[in-house]
């Protein structure tokens, strides 16, 4: 079965300024690698729809959603958070980014595709129930997970997060939701300075010290994530795919390599094949050094597609 590739041209129009690392060029860096590798034509392409208000409200406060809509500028730029701003295209892009995840869940649940990668921005995993944060406006992966639970009636959804930053928003939204198992690795101590002490059996956070690389990452996956995933038996596996733990990405001090992203995807694909007919939905989070981002995402998508 094919893999889906979900994106939208508006994700290239959200722009927080020339010096901001979360740049539109990130989308193109991934797409260029997929084209150069010959993978692009083999993926099943979808345009992301806008997420509905109902979908957003499953994880966000109505007051916050109203505030984002009211703040969206007709021209110029307005700040939502110290490092997150909106231009006139940000709100439509954020709605498409969230909608990509729900469409991906629908497509894999319907069996149209085995798995899906959403090449989207703004990213989502720092966005809280009532607050934009860390380049994120709506929590795309949480919206996808809530869609799987509520709309599709799933009882066990796993969220994997290998971005270098902890997915604080995702953790907070599902901290009291035993139908969600969250497995994450992240540099610690590091932004957003939480997650190391979740003290929760369905939030399996493995903090990694600055300088950690392939060996530490693979040990966390092998020793902590995989045993828990096989016990949990997810019906759907969601991935917050951030590539900013790469050694070439100076956003952080972790030292992952391209091959680590291929390896972890192979491990997760095996889990999904054994537990849930291979159903995986992966959403782009961070990754700011354009060359390593493009290569790492390509490795990830190549394994997902089985090509
Ligand atoms: Zn990140």
Q: What is the pLDDT along the chain (307 residues), one digit of tens a residue?
A: 899 999 999 999 999 999 999 999 999 999 999 999 999 999 999 999 999 999 999 999 999 999 999 999 999 999 999 999 999 999 999 999 999 999 999 999 999 999 999 999 999 999 999 999 999 999 999 999 999 999 999 999 999 999 999 999 999 999 999 999 999 999 999 999 999 999 899 999 999 999 999 999 999 999 999 999 999 999 999 999 999 999 999 999 999 999 999 999 999 999 999 999 999 999 999 999 999 999 999 999 999 999 9
Residue 21 in tokens: 């690392």
Task: Give the environment of ion ligand 1: residues with CB less than 5 A.
Answer: 163, 165, 242, 244, 286
CA of 143 to the centre of ligand 1 (A): 18
CA of 110 to the centre of ligand 1 (A): 31
Tell me what pLDDT residue 289 has: 98
CA of 164 to the centre of ligand 1 (A): 5
Total structural domains within the chain: 1
User: 223, 170, 163, 242: which is closest to 200 by C-alpha?
Assistant: 170
CB 184 within 8 A of CB 204: yes
User: 304, 270, 262: which is closest to 104 by C-alpha?
Assistant: 304
CATH number reported for the structural domain that contains residue 51 in this entry = 3.40.800.20
CA of 292 to the centre of ligand 1 (A): 14
CA of 1 to the centre of ligand 1 (A): 31
CA of 287 to the centre of ligand 1 (A): 7
Residue 147 is among the residues annotated as catalytic for this protein: no
Point out which residues pair with 185 in neighbouring strands.
206
Tell me what pLDDT residue 286 has: 98
CA of 111 to the centre of ligand 1 (A): 31
Calpha distance 232→158 (Å, rounded): 8
In the set 14, 125, 126, 188, the catalytic residue is: 126
Calpha distance 261→301 (Å, rounded): 10
Burial class (CB in 10 A: 0-12, 13-18, 19+), 262: middle
CA of 84 to the centre of ligand 1 (A): 13
CA of 104 to the centre of ligand 1 (A): 22
Computed over its alpha carbons, how large is the radius of gyration of the chain? 17
Calpha distance 161→51 (Å, rounded): 22
Question: Residue 2 gets which letter from DSSP?
Answer: P
Point out which residues pair with 85 in neighbouring strands.
79
Which helix (H) or strand (E) segment holds residue 216: the answer is helix 214-220
**Count of Cβ atoms closer than 10 Å to residue 253 Cβ:** 16
Calpha distance 271→285 (Å, rounded): 22
Range of the domain at 159: 3-305
């Amino acid at each position: 079965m094919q893999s889906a590739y979900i994106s939208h041209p508006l994700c290239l129009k959200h722009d927080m300024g020339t010096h901001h690392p979360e740049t539109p060029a990130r989308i193109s860096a991934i797409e260029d690698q997929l084209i150069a590798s010959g993978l692009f034509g083999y993926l099943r392409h979808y345009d992301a729809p806008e997420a509905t208000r109902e979908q957003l409200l499953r994880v966000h406060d109505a007051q916050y959603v109203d505030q984002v809509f009211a703040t969206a500028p007709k021209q110029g730029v307005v700040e939502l958070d110290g490092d997150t701003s909106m231009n006139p295209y940000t709100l439509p892009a954020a709605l498409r980014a969230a909608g990509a995840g729900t469409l991906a869940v629908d497509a894999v649940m319907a069996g149209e595709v085995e798995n899906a990668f959403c090449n989207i921005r703004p990213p989502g995993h720092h966005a809280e129930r009532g607050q934009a944060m860390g380049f994120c406006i709506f929590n795309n992966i949480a919206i996808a997970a809530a869609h799987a639970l509520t709309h599709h009636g799933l009882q066990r959804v796993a969220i994997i997060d290998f971005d270098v930053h902890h997915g604080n928003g995702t953790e907070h939204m599902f901290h009291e939701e035993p139908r969600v198992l969250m497995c994450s690795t992240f540099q610690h101590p590091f932004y957003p300075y939480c997650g190391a002490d979740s003290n929760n059996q369905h939030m399996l956070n493995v903090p990694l010290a600055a300088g950690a690389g392939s060996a530490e990452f693979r040990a966390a996956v092998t020793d902590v994530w995989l045993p828990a995933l096989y016990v949990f038996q997810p019906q759907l596996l969601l991935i917050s795919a951030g590539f900013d733990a790469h050694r070439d990405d100076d956003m952080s001090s972790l030292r992952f390599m391209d091959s680590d992203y291929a390896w972890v995807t192979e491990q997760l694909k095996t889990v999904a094949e054994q537990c849930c007919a291979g159903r995986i939905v992966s959403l782009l989070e961070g990754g700011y050094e354009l060359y390593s981002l493009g290569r790492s995402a390509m490795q990830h998508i190549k394994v997902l597609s089985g090509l």
